[in-house]
A = this chain, B = another copy of it.
Amino acid sequence: MKPVIKDNMVLKPFTVGWDPNDGIMDDPDNHVERFLSTLTNMFYDADAAERFLKEHGDVLLYEVYEKTIPQRDGEIQFCSSITHPGKIGAEYFMTKGHFHARRDTAEIYYCLRGKGYMLMELENGEYEIGELLPGKTVYVPGNYAHRSINVGDETLISLAVYPGDAGHDYGSIETSGFKHVVVEKNGKPEVIENPRYGRMKA
């Protein structure tokens, strides 16, 4: 039985352990697993995603472990964000990405392991890349959609922390995608314009 946390609940102090090497939380309230089969449309080369599925079967792209915290202003949400290594065509494995429902809320990512890019993009398409390397903190300001991208060979693990009432808004990411995608070119990550921007569900 998972605890039922109501938004008007008063929380007591607690401690949760998790392994910095694999990101697995000892006693999570929630474990999200995102498999390729449900996210083929997320990659700009949807044909490559279908081919990948046929050749390799379904794979786990990323996972999140979290405790349930009331979704209200003043609280702090935190989770371990785990993105596995791999590529669909030239595009690296990544998280779906999202805006915050409350757009003016920030988030920080503290990288524990691996090598990644944090793609941050405003609604107008302006973007910034933050490098995720062990010991680095990326500050994602409000109004930026953000996505973790694993550009290395091992699992990318970060601690993500954001305001209690930030919420998630996946809507425009699912339909339009990010304007930019990160692909491997000559063995190195490179940011290119998303050829399918605006029609990810087309």
Contacts and interface: CB of A to CB of B under 8 A. Distances in A.
Contacts of A142: 74-75
B106 A141 contact: no
B136 A16 contact: yes
A173 B143 CA distance: 37
Interface residues of A, number: 47
Interface string A49-83: 00000000000000000010100011110100000
A107 B76 contact: yes
Contact of A11 (B17, B74, B118, B139): B139
A141 B5 CA distance: 14
Given A13-B138, A15-B131, A74-B163, 17 more contacts: A11-B106, A11-B139, A15-B138, A16-B137, A17-B133, A17-B136, A20-B135, A73-B73, A74-B104, A74-B106, A74-B166, A75-B105, A76-B107, A76-B108, A76-B162, A78-B137, A110-B159
Nearest to A134: B20
A90 interface: no
Contact of A120 (B13, B118, B163): B13
Nearest to A119: B13
Contacts of A17: 133, 135-137
Given A74-B163, A76-B162, A139 B67 contact: yes
A118 B13 CA distance: 10
Contacts of A104: 74
A15 to B, nearest CB: 5
Given A161-B76, A161-B161, A137 B106 contact: no
A102 B163 CA distance: 14
A19 B161 contact: no
A144 interface: yes
A152 interface: no
Given A78-B108, A78-B161, A102-B74, A13 B135 contact: no
Contact of A19 (B108, B135, B137, B139): B135
